[in-house]
């Protein structure tokens, strides 16, 4: 059987891309090097900021760059493409139209995982960038699945953006107490699960070893789906 190749349209952001590749390796049930997934990683960190463009269309548009990168991965004989950035999925439909190979959708895979693992789930909270929240990306998919989506208050959302941009992306110390406070606010609103809908937040989960079933990491969901799509087994 032909080996499946996973193309990673990365750089959005660079640290999250490397973390995604690390997750794929660590989550694959492999006893030898040869049992791991073949990946082509394009860590293109100069792609214009996705949230900036979504919030202000006068800013540089990342879509043409991402379309070109997707085509490069297709030309490199990749069988699937992943984009380890939730906000970038604002452009998902246009990027998918530009290539003939499937792009695994991190938003869809994360919501499906919530349904599968959280009993009697009804309400999902989402922590994400302003761009992801404004685009209604998660809200639309969650509601499509017949569930209710809750986003942070305006004050908490400003704090989420501070954590993402001024702490994780900037390589500064993370205010983990504020992170947990925001999650607590969403839990008080009756959320059965909290999606970490920004890959910088996934890095916080890793660095602080947060292991709660009700906190669902979108990056882990993408890695899990990528492994299965490429015909490999998940480590139990």
Q: What is the pLDDT of residues 94-141, one digit of tens each?
A: 999 999 999 999 999 999 999 999 999 999 999 999 999 999 999 999
Q: What percentage of the chain carries pLDDT values higher than 90?
A: 92
Question: How many whole angstroms separate alpha carbon 27 and alpha carbon 228?
Answer: 11
Give the contacts of 218 (CB within 8 A, at least 6 positions apart). Answer: 86, 106, 107, 109, 110, 195, 196, 197, 198, 199, 202
Question: How many whole angstroms separate alpha carbon 62 and alpha carbon 100?
Answer: 20
| Average pLDDT of the chain, as a whole number | 95
pLDDT tens by residue, 164-181: 999 998 999 999 999 999
User: What pLDDT shows up at residue 236?
Assistant: 84
Task: Kindly state the average pLDDT of the residues 18-22.
Answer: 94
Q: What percentage of the chain carries pLDDT values higher than 70?
A: 100
Q: Residue 69: pLDDT above 90?
A: yes
Question: How many whole angstroms separate alpha carbon 91 and alpha carbon 96?
Answer: 9
Question: Which residues are designated catalytic?
Answer: 85, 198
Q: Residue 219: pLDDT above 90?
A: yes
Inter-residue contact 88 to 101 (CB < 8 Å) = no
User: What pLDDT shows up at residue 53?
Assistant: 94
Domains and their CATH numbers in the chain? 5-105+221-229 (3.40.50.1860), 107-218 (3.40.50.1860)
User: What pLDDT shows up at residue 187?
Assistant: 97
Inter-residue contact 195 to 126 (CB < 8 Å) = yes
């Amino acid at each position: 059987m032909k080996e499946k190749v996973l193309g990673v349209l990365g750089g959005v952001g660079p640290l999250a891309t490397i973390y995604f590749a690390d997750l794929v390796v660590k989550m694959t049930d492999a006893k030898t090097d040869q049992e791991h997934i073949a990946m082509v990683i394009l860590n293109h960190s100069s792609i214009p900021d996705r949230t900036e463009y979504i919030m202000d269309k006068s800013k540089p548009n990342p879509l043409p760059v991402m379309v070109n990168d997707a085509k490069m991965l297709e030309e490199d004989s990749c069988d699937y493409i992943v984009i380890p950035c939730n906000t970038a999925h604002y452009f998902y439909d246009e990027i998918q139209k530009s290539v003939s190979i499937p792009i695994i959708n991190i938003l869809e895979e994360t919501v499906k995982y919530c349904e599968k693992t959280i009993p009697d789930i009804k309400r999902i909270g989402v922590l994400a960038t302003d761009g992801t929240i404004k685009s209604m990306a998660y809200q639309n998919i969650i509601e499509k699945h017949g569930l209710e989506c809750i986003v942070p208050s305006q004050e908490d959302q400003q704090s989420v953006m501070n954590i993402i941009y001024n702490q994780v992306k900037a390589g500064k110390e993370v205010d983990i107490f504020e992170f947990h406070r925001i999650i607590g606010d969403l839990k008080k609103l009756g959320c059965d699960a909290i999606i970490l809908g920004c890959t910088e937040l996934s890095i916080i989960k890793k660095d602080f070893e947060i292991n709660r079933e009700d906190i669902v990491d979108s990056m882990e969901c993408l890695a899990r789906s990528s492994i299965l799509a490429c015909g490999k087994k998940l480590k139990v």
